[in-house]
Structure 1
Amino acid sequence: MKKGIISIFFLLLLALFSGCSLFSSTDPDFSREQYDKWYEQGKFDEAANYIEERLEKYPEDPYLYNEKGYMLNMQEQYEEALKALDEAIELDDKLDNAYTNQALSYNELGEYEKAIIAAQKAIDISDQEPEQFINMGNAHFGLERDENAIEYYDKALEIEPDTPYALYGKGVALYFLEEFEKSIENLNKYIEADPTDKDALWYLVYAADSLGEYHATIPYLDQLIELNTDQQLDAIDYKGLMLAYNGDFEESEDVYDTIIDQFNTEAIGYYGKGVALVLQGDTDEGLKQLSSAIQINPELKDTAYSDPLFASVYDDETFIELTE
């Protein structure tokens, strides 16, 4: 998994901390109940239009501009969000939520140094909200300052223990520091709150794999398979490999038979089955499966040639002929 990738889903959830839940306006006619319904239903366009209507009547209300920026963040219109948030800050430079939402915008735009400045201003005004520190952690993570990022995620967790998004950020940062056991500990706590986050599940798979705990990857892979996303086949393929590494060769072969039978990807199935057979010492049958894979997809010849999973047969004449 590439460094610097934090799922959009995660960042949008993070925004839930910093917007309407703390909304307070000088607009006496603001309909809290209706606004909350739009928000809860994910109807951000309707909510944003309503904010625009209220701004026509109360153009000097910093809270309305902050909420406008927040809603634009939810719609992934980050540059427009920053314009609205600048308006909010110009009207009230002590509005910590505006700086928090600003930091979120900058993080999403990859402008991490600016995100740090905005997050620090939010912290200077109010240091008792976890989201300010999470935003700061995300900015440092984006700059590949993983240890600094963890410090801020920890501060968020001191304020609100088991804050899901702090656990996620910390778990991912620990993964890139190769502290895999601690990464797994934090990410496991996170997926208790959100068991459908595929990014977190993949990090757990990779962390367990890195520790050589191949059996431990299987529950996470099963969760990924059950999600039935566009990554389902990748998860099934990885499961077959992990089972083979763990010595569960028959189960591994069954997984690849499933790929061959149920997916239009026979090449992947035969290739994986070849790996499983070679790993258990059945070289002849394993190379037959590899041959079938290469016949379907000749590009797999180059893949196999440099695949460490076939290292034990690099000198085998049949393997050399197949990969020439």
Structure 2
Amino acid sequence: MTGRNQTIISEFLLLGLPIEPEHHDLFYTLFLVMYVTTVLGNLLIMFLIRLDPHLHTPMYLFLSNLSFSDLCFSSVTMPRLLQDMQSHVPSISYAGCLTQMYFFLFFADLESFLLVAMAYDRYVAICFPLHYTTVMSPRLCLFLVVLSWVLTTFHAMVHTLLMARLHFCADNVIPHFFCDMSALLKLSCSDTRVNELVIFITGGLILVIPFLLIITSYTRIVSSILKVPSARGIRKAFSTCGSHLTVVSLFYGTVIGLYLCPSANNSTVKEAVMAMMYTVVTPMLNPFIYSLRNRDMKGALGRVFYKKKAHFSL
């Protein structure tokens, strides 16, 4: 070793998922179908929101950004997982590992901030319907989206630079299907106390505070509904907020359970399954959650295809 800040190993080995050899082809096909579904579903949502003027509202501006984030979030890990499942030596370069970690953090953080923005949008729409247009102005919506991108860029860059200052000696086997930050810290032979302190501080800022803001928004929404209880109001609130609450539960439930409330007996298999939930399953389900019971999305789909049909019939 020539210096404390130099990395000796040049690549890592990803152990992937603990799948029995006889089930390998089945899981490969399953993951491929899930990834293709994720890409097509989120592209369809972005396509509809872009083409239909009826969907040019704050809620769908945030939803289109969320769909883009979901698509990219899944693309950070799934192509590599599919490639490694076909490779006899599932290795990833040191630079490639840090790059994957950066974009993983970036799009995970972006999803967290966008979910907060969507919760605030629902809060204003239900609690202050008469002032909704004034409060949720295009300028404020653009500011919230840009702020989300800026904060996530800064947070992901900080962790990536802190990881780059560490060096790794002998053990280069990552017991995961992607370059997870916590797994990399366990492999480092440097002092990781600074990294762990930054993770503890920013973990609260990026996960806990946004989650509490979402809970606060929905507490105010429920309080507002209960003040003037009516079956129609409750149905409208549920149809408006039900999809968002489902996504919030799926995303934050697995992330907080895995990273902020880890148990001592968490096995590698359990961690991998929980990671699959928020990196693969949630981005795949989001298009279905937001579109199946959404009349606006169904109407947009009908209008777009009707225009295409009319165009080709001329």
Q: If the length of structure 1 is used for normalisation, what is the TM-score?
A: 0.23
Q: Point out the structure with max Rg over C-alpha.
A: 1
Q: If the length of structure 2 is used for normalisation, what is the TM-score?
A: 0.23
